[in-house]
């Protein structure tokens, strides 16, 4: 089966850094994804890791350790607009159609 | 210039009714999906079509029937609606490449009374 865990909620201050952890147990692994979802809106793609290490994209970075079944999303220089849910998703195996299994999301609240 | 558009955005209906949600993408993608997001915010895949062919069919009641008339459209028909069907249904598409990046529509919030 598939199991993806991430904290339910986190609070941080504008300008600070927040790290959202995600642990997973899946049958096979072919990529980990992070999506951002503002309340009432569609999820939007943030990052993709398939090999171990850190991927940096501007203020957002994502890290993967396949041996530990662990990833984190790092948000730097937090802005108020970063208040959203962040969804960790795993693609269990390479298959047509990009089947993703999502975690329940971490709601990040950025305070002034 | 919406990339993935779905209609209606909101749907309120009685138990036992039949309803449809339509989805269209103008990105030229080969693959389309239906995901269900429940009240606990878990996004779960229901179906996936690749170039009009069904390739993913998760454990979904057969009251749910997807239809893809062409690769730019994927509709979802639901028969005999139940209270537990209340959720937000997201349509998505992806190109046939290895990034796994899904492009989601804005969602259709279904409320069954």
The two three-digit tokens of residue B23, written as one number: 């989805």
Structure tokens at A88: 């960790």
Q: Which residues of B touch A100 (CB under 8 A)?
A: 45, 100, 102
Write down the pLDDT at residue B19.
97
Q: How far apart are CA B28 and CA B72, in angstroms?
A: 7
Q: What are B4's strand-pairing partners?
A: B25
How much is the pLDDT for B1? Answer: 67
Counting runs of H as helices and runs of E as strands, what totals does chain A give? 0, 11
Strands B103-104 and B87-94: antiparallel
Cross-chain residue pair A96–B31, CB shorter than 8 Å: yes
Mean pLDDT of chain A: 92
Contacts of B40 in chain A (CB under 8 A): 104
Give the mutation candidate from A97, A100, A102, A103 for the B interface (greatest B CB count, under 10 A): A97
Position B96 pLDDT exceeds 90: no
Mutation site, A98, A103, A105, interface B, largest B CB count within 10 A: A98
Q: Which residues of A touch B31 (CB under 8 A)?
A: 96-98
- Supply the pLDDT for residue B50: 86
CA distance A64 to A87: 15
Determine, for residues B102 and A98 on separate chains, whether the beta-carbon distance falls below 8 Å.
Answer: yes
Query: If pLDDT is split at 50, 70 and 90, which confidence band does B99 have?
Result: low
Which chain B residue shows the shortest CA-CA distance from A90?
Answer: B100
B75: burial class by Cβ within 10 Å (0-12, 13-18, 19+)?
A: middle
Contact A94, A30 (CB under 8 A): yes
Average pLDDT over residues B19-46: 93
Longest dimension (CA), chain A: 44
Position B56 pLDDT exceeds 60: yes
pLDDT in tens, A31-78: 999 999 999 999 999 999 999 999 999 999 999 999 999 999 999 999
DSSP tag of B2: -
pLDDT at B101: 87
């Amino acid at each position: 089966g598939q199991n993806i865990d991430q904290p339910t909620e986190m609070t941080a201050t504008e300008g600070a850094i927040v790290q959202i952890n995600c642990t997973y147990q899946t049958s096979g692994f072919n990529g980990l994804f992070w999506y951002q979802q503002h309340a009432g809106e569609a999820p939007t793609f943030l990052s993709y890791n398939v090999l171990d290490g850190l991927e940096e994209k501007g203020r957002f970075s994502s890290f993967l350790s396949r041996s530990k079944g662990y990833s984190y999303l790092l948000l730097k220089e937090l802005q108020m607009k970063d208040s959203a849910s962040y969804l960790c998703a795993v693609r269990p195996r390479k298959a047509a159609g990009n089947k993703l299994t999502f975690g329940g999301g971490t709601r990040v609240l950025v305070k002034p | 210039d919406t990339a993935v558009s779905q209609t209606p955005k909101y749907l309120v209906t009685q138990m036992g009714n039949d309803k449809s949600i339509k989805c269209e993408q103008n990105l030229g993608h080969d693959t389309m999906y239906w995901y269900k997001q429940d009240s606990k915010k878990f996004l779960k895949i229901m179906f996936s079509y690749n170039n009009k062919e069904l390739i993913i069919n998760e454990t979904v009641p057969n009251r749910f029937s997807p239809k893809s008339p062409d690769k730019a459209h994927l509709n979802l028909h639901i028969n005999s609606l139940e209270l537990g069907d209340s959720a937000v249904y997201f349509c998505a598409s992806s190109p046939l490449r290895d990034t796994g990046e899904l492009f989601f529509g804005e969602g259709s919030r279904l409320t069954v009374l």
